[in-house]
Amino acid sequence: MTKKYFGTDGIRGRVGEPPITADFVLKLGWAAGQVLGTGQGSKILVGKDTRISGYMFESALQAGLSAAGVDCHLLGPMPTPAIAYLTQTFRAKAGIVISASHNPYQDNGIKFFSAEGTKLPDSVERAIEDMIEQPMTTKDSALLGKAGRIKDAAGRYIEFCKGTVPAKTRLKKLKVVIDCAHGATYHIAPAVFQELGADVITIGAEPNGLNINEGFGATDTKALAAKVLEEKADLGIALDGDGDRVMMIDHLGNMANGDELLFIIARAALKEGHLQGGVVGTLMSNLGMEVALKELGIGFARSQVGDRYVIEMMKEKGWRFGGESSGHIICMDQTTTGDGIIAALQVVVVMCQSNLGLADLRKGMKQFPQLMINVKADRKKQVWLDKTVLEAVAVGEQKLADKGRILLRPSGTEPLVRVMVEGENDSLVKSICEDIASEVEIAAAKG
């Protein structure tokens, strides 16, 4: 069954446009309380990133949960994975995150974690959607939910992050630049690395409600690369607006994406004897990672795009490590969801234990040329199934001659169709990708 509101990562859109409106989020809070907050004294945690609209939606969720008779514990600005962790430690019924992740400040969204700190299954999301369609009711005044604020949330999560680093590992020799994307990690990530002994320089840590992800963070690493070179730092760490993605910059100013970081972590886990199976990537994961893992004898499987699907496959196979090239990296031996800070720490631990820089650690994997072009298109039109688009794909596949991949998929979070081409020859990849994207654009423009 197709869901009406939930996408691959919660409900997301432009603020003020349905469904990202105050009245809808009020109803969503009530519906979530009815479905998730069963039982006397039930509580749900609510955190957010640094968007100005977070204030409005925090209040709306709080009112909806209260009407449903559920206590609401507010965390304030916190990384998405921190809310997953704190939901477990506070024995809450669920955690709610107000964030649009890597999107600009004009967007926002709502995503949920279960009591176990995992994304909600489709069946529960459908139950919430069904409840939204019901008339909203309010509990008797004596049964209304209460609201409070958890003041030590940041400190608790900082200690958790530090606890994922072996006690004997010291970061005193490392000079690190951390880019917080003016987002939810601005008061978390620098403290984690400083308290572990690193020499930390911070950029993108002055949120004003309007600058989240703007020119900084995991989706735009140019400022970080420049700062790493300027400071002669050992590495740079770029997190996205809600802290569940990470990219890293080596001392030469080159970026290591999620595929490369996942490979480094998995190879070290194999060497240490705690890999436990193979690695889960997605349809978008670079072919070079698959080849490099297989050369080490490490199994590899591809899930649908989206960290929730990566995690589902990891659980099915009993594997510990998975992720996306976009920087969602899941280390199931440490946490329950994609966590930019935790993933960065795991790579830093490998650097310290091997006495190698990020530039050297990256050498074990050769990325295939890959290009992705995003084309604006209404998802409902299904332009990726247009006859001329399919013909362009067939021509491209013939040119690649089984030495590459072509993938078309609609974005689960934005009105875009993503055209991805991968192969051995950079110019051929570019030519094929541009040809297909052009046909998608023409198909999207049709009435």
Residues designated catalytic: 101
Contact 36, 336 (CB under 8 A): no
Neighbours of 295 (CB within 10 A): 10
Q: Report how far residue 343's alpha carbon sits from residue 321's, in angstroms, rounded to the nearest whole number.
A: 10
Tally DSSP H helices, then E strands, for the chain: 14, 18
What is the spatial order of strands in the sheet that 329-331 belongs to?
300-303, 279-282, 321-323, 329-331
CA atoms within 13 Å, Cβ hemisphere of 330? 29
Spatial CB neighbours of 111, under 8 Å, sequence gap ≥ 6: 9, 10, 11, 80, 96, 97, 99, 119
User: Coil, strand, or helix at residue 195?
Assistant: helix
Neighbours of 155 (CB within 10 A): 11
Neighbours of 366 (CB within 10 A): 12
Question: Please, which residues bridge with residue 404 across strands?
Answer: 423
